[in-house]
Amino acid sequence: MSENRIGTATIRAPVDDQPFFAGLDPNRRFEAQLCKNVLALHEQGCDYPKRMIDAARRNHLKAWISLRMNNGHNPHLPDHPGHSTIWKSHPEWRLSHGLDYEQPEVREHYMKLVREVCTRYDLDGLELDYLRFWLYFREGRQHEGGKLMTDFVKQARAATQGASKRLGHPVKLAVRVPTTPWIAHMHGLDAVTWAKAGLVDLIVASPFWPSVDSDVPIETWKGLLIGTNVPVALSLESGIHPGTVNRTVTHEEMRGILASAWHRGADAVYFFNLFTGPYQRWPREDHDRLLRDAGSYAALARVEEGQLTVLRWRLAMPPWQVLRDLVW
């Protein structure tokens, strides 16, 4: 054990060479520190979601919690400390990323997380993040699986309604799904049906890491959702990836994508992987200005020459999935 000081407490944290960390990627040993930080917060009695909700309240912001519905990081590292017990215990349920939702135990595992959040926290909304990761059913089982997922969303809706009754204020339900309705549907994620059944309050149309999509069909979503009053948010990723070379998106390109989305009828915008640190390597003033202007088409368009770039780039799902699903 080694000492790790966080805040005013000194925590005895595990050292890097213990078996718990043996499954880490040798090129990503820094992940050990992430585990130590979480342990240190736990030892201090810090409930991190509650801490963030309290901070949002102090700043007069709505507080939402997002749950990753099938996190599939590091499937090639079976001993990675980030894997759940259910993933480690049932290799027969594993997909290439995440677990098979056709298994009742898998659905119940994730529903327990939904219910825990809805009974434990004073939240204003819950997001079911279906882009982490994008697979939920085995090949050829997506159609039948879609019925199971619709039932799952019904249960999640009941959980948020229960939270609303407990808290005395609305608790909304959002879903983050692939950028186009047909791709979402093909993966068993029928967000349009969910909206028409009154199960969700917001649809976030999102590309998968690491590539932003500059041509999300907002008009198609809005047309399919006529009569539901369910808004559509455009989700933006941090990079551009044609399948060979990845680079981070520039803030000028990001402004252009946002301006296009507002022009096409988006109701909200949503950032994913937009960090203030060295990841984007933007000047801090450009980062902050983007956030200030993101909610206004007029503000985004009112920039100096060269500060807004409109690019046409379309990739709504991982490149290795595109051809297969076009055939499907």
Q: What pLDDT digit, counting tens, does each position of 141-184 carry?
A: 999 999 999 999 999 999 999 999 999 999 999 999 999 999 99
pLDDT at 10: 52
Burial class (CB in 10 A: 0-12, 13-18, 19+), 245: exposed
Amino acid at 315: L
For residue 285, what are the contacts with CB-CB under 8 A and spacing of at least 6? none
Domain 55-327: which topology? Answer: TIM Barrel (3.20.20)
Distance CA 271, CA 251 (A): 12
For residue 36, count other CB atoms closer than 10 A to its CB. 19
Q: Name the phi and psi angles at 61, rounded to 5.
A: -115, 150
**What does each of the 328 residues of the chain score in pLDDT, given as a tens digit?**
555 554 555 555 556 678 889 999 999 988 999 889 999 999 999 999 999 999 999 999 999 999 999 999 999 999 999 999 999 999 999 999 999 999 999 999 999 999 999 999 999 999 999 999 989 999 999 999 999 999 999 999 999 999 999 999 999 999 999 999 999 999 999 999 999 999 999 999 999 887 888 899 999 999 999 999 999 999 998 888 766 777 888 888 889 999 999 999 999 999 998 876 656 678 888 888 999 999 999 999 876 545 555 555 444 444 434 333 333 2
Among 174, 251, 179, which Cα is nearest to 209's?
179
Distance CA 274, CA 280 (A): 7
Give this prediction's pTM. Answer: 0.89
Domain ranges across the chain: 1-46, 55-327
